Amino acid sequence: MRSKFFNMSNAHNTKYAIGIDLGGTSTKFGIVDKDGNILEQDRIPTASEKPVDFFIDELHKKLQPLIDKIGGKEKFIGIGMGAPNGNVYTGNIEYAANLHWHGIVPIAHLLTEKFGLHASLTNDANAAAMGEMMYGAAKGMKHFITITLGTGVGSGIVIDGKMVVGNDGFAGELGHTIVRYNGRLHKQTGSRGCLESYASATGVRQTAIEFMENNPEQPSLLRKYSEMELTSETVYNCALQGDEIAQDVFQFTGEILGEALANFVMFSSPQAIILFGGLTKAGSYIMNPTKEAMEKNLYQVFKNKVQLVFSNLKESDAAILGASALVL
């Protein structure tokens, strides 16, 4: 009996999980223990223009040494992954707009095959929301929404302490909600005026380009950068230096984002909205106009109630932790 208990206890103490955050540009992964400590972490380019098998191979090359370092796959409970359009019910990535892999990708199955470990999948933004709920700004909250402002705009919705996945596992695609009738073309989907086409890193770059084109006489530090170099970070740096067009870009982006957030609040009446992703590095340049527009568009009963905050987790940690929580 003693040895049985000892083994159980030992098993309990030596189990880890792998958390993977598959993004449009790069994929971050980490080894997480049961207390939510990320022991090892690394990243690879997602490179979805190449076949998914190439991605799995690259991931394996980087991740297997980390697994071995911890003591081999026997020490692991499994793999949790967050990915765009990741379906918690099927384990497939299905028709993801920000990835070049087309149609349905059985990613959980491919991971299990390659690593010999159980793999669970969810939406990337849902993974981040789980991380926020367990370890971050939403700790202890039962009603909140997380919005990822990265390559795309993702979202995770928690109501009554439960992740909203809806009838088919795809709930919470708030980046694709329409915020400007007949507005900016979203190239990957063909839709017009969706939130993602404005409030993502890609959207901010597009806005900067449009503002420069529409004001050809106005000098701007932004004109020094090539289209490739224009990121939400370069726009932020120019805004910091007092560049008017750069500041206008955040003002415009925040107005649209805030209006969209108001609509989300009127749907589920959350305690907080938690923003994270590259765009949040712009700090008050993005926060102030967003907050103002959100409050302005809220119906009376919701005004001055909802906390709008940046995530306090390290950018990639929320998603890695949340993904690992799928199996831990």
Residues that bind a copy of itself (CB under 8 A): 85, 94-95, 97, 142-143, 157, 159-160, 162, 164-174, 176-181, 189, 191, 259, 262-264, 266-271, 297, 299-302, 305
Could you tell me the smallest distance in angstroms from the CB atom of residue 97 to a copy of itself? 7
Token pair, residue 122, equals 């969810």
Could you tell me the smallest distance in angstroms from the CB atom of residue 300 to a copy of itself? 4
Residues across the chain:
328
Specify the residue, 153 or 279, whose C-beta has the smaller distance to a copy of itself: 153
* Number of C-beta neighbours around residue 122 at 10 A: 28
Inter-axis angle of helices 232-240 and 201-214, nearest 10: 60
Specify the residue, 190 or 242, whose C-beta has the smaller distance to a copy of itself: 190
Specify the residue, 112 or 268, whose C-beta has the smaller distance to a copy of itself: 268
* Number of C-beta neighbours around residue 180 at 10 A: 15
In contact, 208 and 235? CB cutoff 8 Å: yes
Specify the residue, 150 or 172, whose C-beta has the smaller distance to a copy of itself: 172
Could you tell me the smallest distance in angstroms from the CB atom of residue 151 to a copy of itself? 16
Q: Which of 322, 328, 324, 297 is nearest to 129 (CA)?
A: 322
Could you tell me the smallest distance in angstroms from the CB atom of residue 77 to a copy of itself? 26
Specify the residue, 128 or 179, whose C-beta has the smaller distance to a copy of itself: 179
SS3 state of residue 21:
strand
Inter-axis angle of helices 317-324 and 124-135, nearest 10: 90
Could you tell me the smallest distance in angstroms from the CB atom of residue 281 to a copy of itself? 27
Specify the residue, 78 or 136, whose C-beta has the smaller distance to a copy of itself: 136
Could you tell me the smallest distance in angstroms from the CB atom of residue 328 to a copy of itself? 23
Question: What are residue 308's phi and psi, to 5 degrees?
Answer: -110, 110
Q: Report the Cα 268 to chain-centroid distance in Å.
A: 20
Could you tell me the smallest distance in angstroms from the CB atom of residue 50 to a copy of itself? 22
Q: d(Cα 226, Cα 149) in Å, to the nearest integer?
A: 22
Could you tell me the smallest distance in angstroms from the CB atom of residue 301 to a copy of itself? 5
Question: What are residue 284's phi and psi, to 5 degrees?
Answer: -65, -20
Q: d(Cα 192, Cα 325) in Å, to the nearest integer?
A: 35
Specify the residue, 164 or 240, whose C-beta has the smaller distance to a copy of itself: 164
Cβ density class 204-226: b for 16+ within 10 Å, e for less: bbbbbeebbeeeeeeebbbeebe
Specify the residue, 164 or 212, whose C-beta has the smaller distance to a copy of itself: 164
Cβ density class 140-154: b for 16+ within 10 Å, e for less: ebebbbbbbbbbbbb
Q: d(Cα 325, Cα 319) in Å, to the nearest integer?
A: 10
